Structure formats: C-alpha cells, structure tokens
C-alpha cells in the first residue's frame, strides 16, 4: 500500500459519510435515505496525520484527540488545497495546539 508521501504533521481532509434525521450546517450532498425518515450526507473533517503505520495506513488525529486509521488511498481522504489551508488553517492549528506540536506547514 502506498503512503503517497504522507508524513506525521501533514494536514488532511476526510470526507465522512453520515446518517441523521437532521443534518448540520456543514452537511454537503444531502439526500433522503430510503424510507424517507433519515438523510444521508457528507461532512468534511479536518484532521492531522499523527503517524504512518508500518502497514502503510495513516493514523489521523481529530481536534478532540480521537484517532482514526485510514488507508492513504481512501477516496474520502485528501490534502487541503491552498485556499482551504488559508480559510481553514485555524482548524488544523487547533488540533496541533491541543495534541502536540505538528504544524503541517
């Protein structure tokens, strides 16, 4: 499995699929689920690479200190573009400040 150059401290955006009766304001691509009582949508999560594991998987860290293991070729995972780094940089820096000294820059 290729790590595509991911290093600890790199900023990452993960597009996570969610299900709910009331999507939040950051929900994107909202569609009613089968049956019509729930909605299926995506939310972009702003995480930092905490570690590249021996098997090539990435250990990602959230703002609240949770950790998620994701394959580097997961279609929901991507690097932020320059505009996202500019507008959402504080979200990444908040993670760095609360969980360590990774800067991602």
Burial of residue 80 (CB within 10 Å: 0-12, 13-18, 19+) is: buried
**Encoding tokens for residue 63?**
């703002």
Cα–chain-centroid distance for residue 68?
A: 9
Each residue's pLDDT tens digit, 55-79: 999 999 988 889 999 999 999 999 9
Mean pLDDT of the chain: 84
Question: Residue 99: pLDDT band by 50, 70, 90 thresholds?
Answer: low
Q: What percent of the chain has pLDDT over 90?
A: 57
As a whole number of angstroms, the distance between CA 95 and CA 98 comes to 5
Give Cβ neighbours of residue 90 (< 8 Å, ≥ 6 apart).
none
3-state secondary structure of 50: strand
């Amino acid at each position: 499995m290729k790590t595509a150059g991911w290093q600890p401290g790199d900023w990452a955006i993960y597009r996570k699929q969610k299900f709910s009766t009331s999507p939040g304001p950051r929900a994107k691509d909202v569609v009613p689920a089968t049956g019509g009582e729930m909605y299926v949508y995506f939310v972009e999560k702003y995480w930092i690479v905490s570690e590249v594991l021996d098997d090539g998987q990435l250990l990602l860290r959230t703002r609240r200190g949770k950790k998620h293991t994701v394959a580097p070729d997961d279609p929901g995972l991507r690097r932020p573009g320059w505009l996202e780094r500019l507008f959402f940089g504080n979200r990444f820096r908040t993670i760095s400040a609360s969980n360590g000294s990774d800067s991602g820059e």
